[in-house]
Amino acid sequence: MKIYLSIIIAALVGEYLIRCLTRYFNLKAMVPDLPAEFDGFYDQEQYRKSQQYTRANTKFAYVSSSISLIVMLIFILMGGFNVLDIFVRSLELSPIPTGLIFFAILFLVSDWLSLPFSVYNIFVIEERFGFNKTTVRTFVLDKFKAYFLSAILGFVIMGSILYFFDKAAELAWLYAWMLVSIFIVAAPPIYTTFISPLFNKFTPLPEGELKDAIHQYAQKVSFPLTDLFIMDGSKRSSHSNAYFSGFGRKKRIVLFDTLIEQHSVDELVAIIAHEVGHYKKKHIFKGMMISILHTGLLFYLLSIFIDNRSLFQAFGMDEVDHVRIYAGFVFFGVLYSPIEFVLSVAMHYLSRKHEYQADAYAVETLGLSDSLILGLKKLSVANLGNLTPHPVNVFLNYSHPPVLERISAMRDVPIVER
């Protein structure tokens, strides 16, 4: 028991300290002088504001992560999981409903504890720097919609997984892996078709120069574009983005309304060319396959540890001779966190590599880098991006390369006359 408890506490505290040290390095890496590449894009006041935004988010992360760690350690050491387990078992339901109630209570408690931080981040920090467009009504409605979707998905997916581990013995991990793999493949079209419209309004891109330019580019690179939509991202934030979704011969491109407001037609086509590059380089497919393999590893290791009595004792559980499968999921998740941390670093590295490749594809197919570079500069300025993140922070946390490194790499892409 002491070994597992020591590993769990060391993992939680160790990751916390690494995150704190990384944030410290990141703050120290900020320089007062504007990088020459952004002359004419940031004035000194805007540049100072971007650094203030980074500092505000960093200080907020210090506070929120410290409180989260303290609450988690107290909950573990004071036997909080055991108290919850005693309560759900007192309902005298069968194992699957008992497990679902156990998960639901943990989810709600965690969400309610994080609620003040979410409110502060949106209505104080984002408001202070001019990004927040979310009203209290929208925030509350979003929260209830998220609860509704979580209840449905939790009942279907977690209920099925609990059933497998309760009935299928040593093959349970394989059945659970198959189920979640199907969900990973089906999730993008389900999200696009059913979930996203619950939160945002999607309007077909009107006829005009932008639509014609996007279709011309799609035809040029043989991208099977079927739908072009504008999303009301300004409903919640002035941050901007674009993405595509879909499988097979049907592809949908979605542009945030804030993105359209901030960029020229050439810049928007270049940003879309980057997204098309992800499709052409099979980055989405590769990411999906990695997720499926990662899930298989997770469930296999879970099957080994799920009935470990010492692990249950480490979390202060009574009656360890009677293993509760649902609790084993949670305990293994905490024990697995150091491996998950390492895997996340590897995935971030791969994601940054993919971003470079998508940038290069956009430059090559457009025949120039200027439009994409200009678009990235405007995106960075509009979002008050940190131009000089510390390399350690990039290594651990960045799914995209820093903007200055992306620009440098694009300038080195050889342009082939077409």
The catalytic residue positions are: 275, 359
The strand pair at 202-204 and 225-231 is best described as antiparallel
Task: DSSP letter for 195, please.
Answer: I
Per the structure block, which two tokens stand in for 383? Answer: 């979002």
278 contact partners, CB below 8 Å, separation of at least 6: 284, 354, 358
Would you say 176 and 211 are in contact if contact means Cβ atoms under 8 Å apart?
no
Q: How far is CA 401 from the centre of its chain?
A: 16
Identify any residues that bridge with 225 across adjacent strands, giving them in sequence order.
251
241 φ, ψ (degrees, to nearest 5): -165, 175
> Which of 78, 73, 105, 76 minimizes the C-alpha distance to 89?
105
Which residue in the block uniquely carries the two structure tokens 């084993």? 328
251 φ, ψ (degrees, to nearest 5): -125, 140
At 394, the amino acid letter reads V
Would you say 241 and 259 are in contact if contact means Cβ atoms under 8 Å apart?
yes
DSSP 84-151: HHHHHHHT---HHHHHHHHHHHHHHHHHHHHHHHHHHIIIIIIHHTT-B---HHHHHHHHHHHHHHHH
325-366 and 95-120 are packed helices; what angle lies between their axes, rounded to 10 degrees?
50
Map residue 36 onto helix, strand or coil: helix
Q: How far is CA 231 from the centre of its chain?
A: 19
